[in-house]
Amino acid sequence: MLFCGYFFNVCRRSKAVIWGGWWVLDINHNKGGLPDGADPLVDGILKVKDFVSKNGTAIAALLVAVVAVVGGGLIYNGVRESNIKKAQEIFGVGMLDYNADRLDDALASFTEAAGSYKQTPMGAMGAFMAGSIYLQQKNVDQAVTWFEAAANGAEGGFVKGQALEGLATAYEEKGDAASAVKYLERALKDKGLSHRRSAIRWKLALLHNKGNASAAGAYCKELIADTLAAQYHQKAENLLASIDAGK
Give the whole-angstrom CA distance, residue 197 versus residue 109.
31
pLDDT of residue 36: 52
Residue, of 49 and 126, whose pLDDT is higher: 126
pLDDT over 70 (residue 189): yes
pLDDT score of 167 more than 70 = yes
Share of the chain above pLDDT 90, in %: 53
Candidates 40, 7, 4; CA nearest to 23 is 7
Q: Is the pLDDT reported for residue 183 higher than 60?
A: yes
Amino acid 234: pLDDT: 97
Q: What is the pLDDT of residue 245?
A: 86
Q: How far apart are CA 210 and CA 190, in angstroms?
A: 25
Contacts of 211 (CB under 8 A, 6+ apart): 177
> Contacts by 182-185 with C-beta closer than 8 Å and gap 24+?
none
Measured between alpha carbons, how far is 183 from 168 in angstroms, rounded to an integer? 5
Q: Please say if the pLDDT value at position 63 is more than 50.
A: yes
pLDDT of residue 84: 84
Q: Is the dihedral of CA 174, 133, 122, 184 positive or negative?
A: negative
At 74-126, the pLDDT tens digits run: 444 555 577 788 989 999 999 999 999 999 999 999 999 998 888 888 899 99
Across all residues in the chain, what is the average pLDDT?
78
Rounded CA separation 164/43 (Å): 70
Which pLDDT score, from 0 to 100, does residue 143 have?
Answer: 97
> What is the residue extent of each domain of the chain?
41-182, 190-247
DSSP character at residue 35: P
pLDDT of amino acid 15: 42
Q: What average pLDDT score do residues 158-165 get? A: 91
CATH 3.40.50.300 matches 41-182: no
What is the band of 136 on the pLDDT scale with cuts at 50, 70, 90? very high
Q: What is the pLDDT of residue 119?
A: 82
Among 224, 222, 214, 219, which Cα is nearest to 244's?
214
How many other CB atoms sit within 10 Å of the CB of residue 46?
Answer: 18
pLDDT digits (tens, 9 = 90+) for 207-233: 999 889 999 999 999 999 999 999 999
- Whole-number pLDDT of residue 166: 96
Question: What is the mean predicted confidence (pLDDT) over 45-74?
Answer: 57
Strands (DSSP E) found in the chain: 17-19, 22-24
The larger pLDDT score, comparing residue 134 to residue 63, is at 134
6 compared with 34, residue with greater pLDDT: 34
